[in-house]
Amino acid sequence: MADIKTVATRASYGEALVELGKQRNDFIVLDADLAAATQTGKFKAAFPDRFYDCGIAEQNMMSIAAGIAATGKRVFVSSFAMFAAGRAFEQIRNSICYPNLHVVIGATHAGISVGEDGATHQCLEDIALMRTLPNMTVINPADDTEAKKAIFAAIDHDGPVYMRFGRYAVPVIFGDDYKFQIGKASVLREGTDVSIIATGLMVSEALKAHQILKDEGIEARVINMATIKPIDKEAVLAAARETGAIVTAEEHSVIGGLGGAVSELVCEECPVPVIKLGVYDRFGYSGPAGKLLDEFGLRAKDIAEKAKSAINLKK
């Protein structure tokens, strides 16, 4: 097998901002003393006059972003997922989402794959937190290509957008011809026995799981759910109707994230078994990202196992 190119989506974030910066000068980028890590430092280096460091004060930064948006200007605001969605949750709720202001939150270092920094920095709750907020759009890109296209889409979106990026380099699975649209899922593999609905870095694992299952004679549909809110209802309900069983896969708590969103919809509109793969109501710990993904059961083989369990639950 040829070497697969891997890129961390935080790097995609930094590069896409620079690209955007070359095309237009109608936006500001904010960070909270993490520019090197979130990769907004690339934008800062290219456009120092259009970058503002708010220092280690994420709550103030979120409300500042709201104020900028309230003047009709565009703004990206960046920190780690933990400190964006977690620490500044209420500022996002009351300053940004309640007045429905167009602020794009670039939240990097999401999930267990933060690695060595350990539990305090491994945010496993952000999708759940952001998804509960009215007006919010939640996007969790699968790879470098999708991340960049999503950033380009987000700047001209109307209303708040939460974008979830990772620190860990993940396979690039989409080519330049890939079309991204906010709110639209993409079916990456067809199948009729079970559907795997994955988001973020779990999408490339889901593609591998498809092959594992295929080798066992199981045809699994693979759906990339990059936009978790608003969720693509049609894609989820078609999966439920046409395959009769669903596995969700996310690098996030199984409480309230993609699995929650899919379960809520399926329960109400087309009940079929849904098995959620994610982190099971626990904190992470320090270690290399790859090893953590193994130990937390966030790999293709784990998805394949859950897929078989979901099929067994079919009536």
Partner 1 sequence: MDKQTKLSLEKTALKIRVGIIRGVHAAKSGHPGGSLSCADILTYLYFKEMNIDPQIPKKPDRDRFVLSKGHAAPALYATLAERGYFDKSELLSLRQTGSFLQGHPDMKHIPGVDMSTGSLGQGISAAVGMALSAKHFGDKYRVYAVLGDGEIEEGQVWEAAMFAANKGLSNLTAFVDLNGLQIDGTIEEVNSARPVDKKFEAFGWDVIEIDGHDFEQIEAAVEKAKYSDKPTAIIAKTTKGKGVSFMENKVNWHGTAPNDEQYEIAIKELKAALDELQ
Binding site for partner 1 (CB under 8 A): 28, 50, 52, 54-55, 57, 59-60, 62-73, 90-91, 94-95, 98-100
Nearer to partner 1, 66 or 128 (CB): 66
* Contacts (Cβ under 8 Å, ≥6 apart) of 214: 220
CB of 64 to partner 1, least distance (A): 4
CB of 122 to partner 1, least distance (A): 25
Nearer to partner 1, 69 or 185 (CB): 69
Nearer to partner 1, 62 or 225 (CB): 62
Token pair listed for 194 = 């079970």
Nearer to partner 1, 55 or 271 (CB): 55
* Contacts (Cβ under 8 Å, ≥6 apart) of 268: none
Whether the Cβ atoms of residue 77 and residue 122 lie closer than 8 Å to each other: no
Whether the Cβ atoms of residue 253 and residue 279 lie closer than 8 Å to each other: yes
Residue 110 forms beta bridges with which residues?
123
Nearer to partner 1, 45 or 56 (CB): 56
CB of 33 to partner 1, least distance (A): 12
CB of 72 to partner 1, least distance (A): 7
* Contacts (Cβ under 8 Å, ≥6 apart) of 79: 31, 32, 34, 38, 58, 61, 88, 107, 108
Whether the Cβ atoms of residue 44 and residue 21 lie closer than 8 Å to each other: no
Taking the C-alpha atoms of residue 226 and residue 205, their distance in angstroms, rounded to an integer, is 14
Nearer to partner 1, 28 or 130 (CB): 28
CB of 133 to partner 1, least distance (A): 14
- The residue from 15, 58, 125, 251 that is catalytic is 58
- Bridge pairing between strands 194-198 and 137-139: unpaired
Active site residue 58: yes
CB of 32 to partner 1, least distance (A): 10
- Which ranges of the chain does DSSP label H, i.e. alpha helix? 9-23, 35-38, 40-46, 58-70, 81, 89-91, 126-131, 144-155, 202-215, 233-243, 258-269, 289-295, 300-312
Catalytic residues: 58
